[in-house]
Structure formats: structure tokens, C-alpha cells
Copies of this chain bind each other. A is one copy, B any other.
Amino acid sequence: MSVPGCFDESFQRQFHQLLEARRDVRSFKSDPVPDAVVEELVAVTRLSPSVGFSQPWRFVRVDSTERREAVVASFERANAAALASYEGERAALYARLKLAGFREAPVHLAVFCDDATDTGKGLGAKTMPETRAFSTTMAIYTLWLAARARGIGVGWVSILDPREVERALDVPEGWRFIAYLCLGYPASYENTPELLRAGWEDVDPRSTHLTIR
């Protein structure tokens, strides 16, 4: 930092490249990711913001084949139901999309929000208890960016029944399922969102339009 508080331009440029390179990955190489690296990525989430410093995220590494299969089965049911909700060309396009990389990804992480935590003493969450789940989401994004900086890809699977995942992983009472992450070295590095490349959806200018009030 040459100017106090401001990171230099070279860093800012590279940070922009990191954001561009941060893709949702569904095609992985089967090369293992060292345990120490996974632990490091989970450890870096301590730097994430959380409502009232509640730090409510809980990471579960899913290693058991049986539990992985239960999650995959939940995905397959939800995905079949989703496919059935589309028609014609759209259904054909949906059917061609690869929406998860369960089989190849060496590391599976399920992420929960501990809605029952007393940490933070409820500060900031009384009128908006959902901010605990939002904090958990930002912890996931911290891990996602830190992983990509190390060349590791992350794919977030949300085509799942949350209650089924909670049961399959036998998590403590009060833990709410937020995300299922597949981690591994990507089969290829892309800078364009897969759903844009596949023709599923376009850039929506409303997301970067600034409404003035």
C-alpha cells in the first residue's frame, strides 16, 4: 500500500482479474487437493464479515461415499423436477447443461448457518435474522475467491432439498443448509460464466444500473 488505506493499482488490476476468473466450476480434474489447503481455505473465512460478529458459518467436509451418494440422489430428484418444469427448446437446453461436478470433484464441502448460535448476542439480527445466512454466504465467497487465487475451482450446487441434505449429513439441531460446494482443480479455466456461454441467459443491465432516490 503506497497511499495509506489504498491498495496499489497493480493489485487492484489483479483483484479484478481474480473476480473475472472466479467461475462456478462443474468440470474438475480428479487430482486431489491437499487436506492442509482445504483447512487453510476454511481458516481464511475468519476474515469474513458477519452480522454482530456472529460468525455463524459451519463447514462440513463430506468424505463418506454413502453420504455423498445421498446428496447426489437429492440433486438427481431436484434436477429431474426442475427439468420437468421447462418446455421445448428450453427443456432441451436445460438437459444439456452440466450443473454439478459431484463425481470428479475430490472435495465436497457442505455449508450451514448456525441460526441457534449465541455468538454476537443477536446484535444486528433482531429485525433481519436472515443476515446470519447472508454472513454465511459471504464466508463461502471468501473461500471461493481464496481458492481461485490458488488455482482451485469451486462449484456451488443449490439444486438440492435442504432438509434432505441436513438429514443426510446428520448435522446438529439449528444448523440450516446454505450451500453444497464441490472443490477441485478445474478441467479448464474460463472467464465467462458457463450459463452465458451456453446461451441460457444474458447479462442483465438492471444489476448494474444505479437507481437514484
Residues in B with CB closer than 8 Å to A123 are 82, 94, 97, 99, 195, 200-201
Is B208's CB under 8 angstroms from A159's CB? no
Check: A106 CB closer than 8 A to any chain B CB: no
Is B61's CB under 8 angstroms from A213's CB? yes
Is B64's CB under 8 angstroms from A127's CB? no
* Measured CA separation A51–B24 after assembly (Å): 10
Is B61's CB under 8 angstroms from A44's CB? no
- What is the number of residues of chain A that contact chain B, defined by CB distance less than 8 Å? 111
Residues in B with CB closer than 8 Å to A195 are 52-53, 120, 123
With contact pairs A46-B203, A134-B178 given, residues A149 and B211 touching in the complex (Cβ less than 8 Å) = no
Contact with B along A182-213 (1 / 0, CB 8 A): 00011001000101100011011011111111
Report the minimal beta-carbon distance from A7 to chain B, rounded to whole angstroms.
Answer: 5
Check: A102 CB closer than 8 A to any chain B CB: no
Check: A173 CB closer than 8 A to any chain B CB: no
Instruction: Please give 15 more A-B residue pairs, beta carbons under 8 A apart, in addition to A54-B201, A61-B213.
Output: A3-B151, A5-B21, A6-B149, A38-B210, A49-B141, A53-B201, A59-B210, A63-B213, A78-B127, A119-B206, A120-B195, A126-B159, A128-B162, A141-B141, A141-B142
Which residues on A are within 8 Å of B, measured CB to CB?
1, 3-7, 11-12, 14-22, 24, 38-39, 42-64, 67, 78, 81-82, 85-86, 90, 94, 97, 99, 110, 114, 117, 119-128, 130-131, 133-134, 137-139, 141-142, 144-146, 148-151, 156, 158-162, 169-171, 178-179, 185-186, 189, 193, 195-196, 200-201, 203-204, 206-213
A-B pairs with beta carbons under 8 Å apart, 12 shown: A7-B150, A12-B150, A45-B207, A52-B195, A53-B193, A59-B210, A61-B210, A62-B213, A82-B122, A94-B123, A110-B213, A138-B138
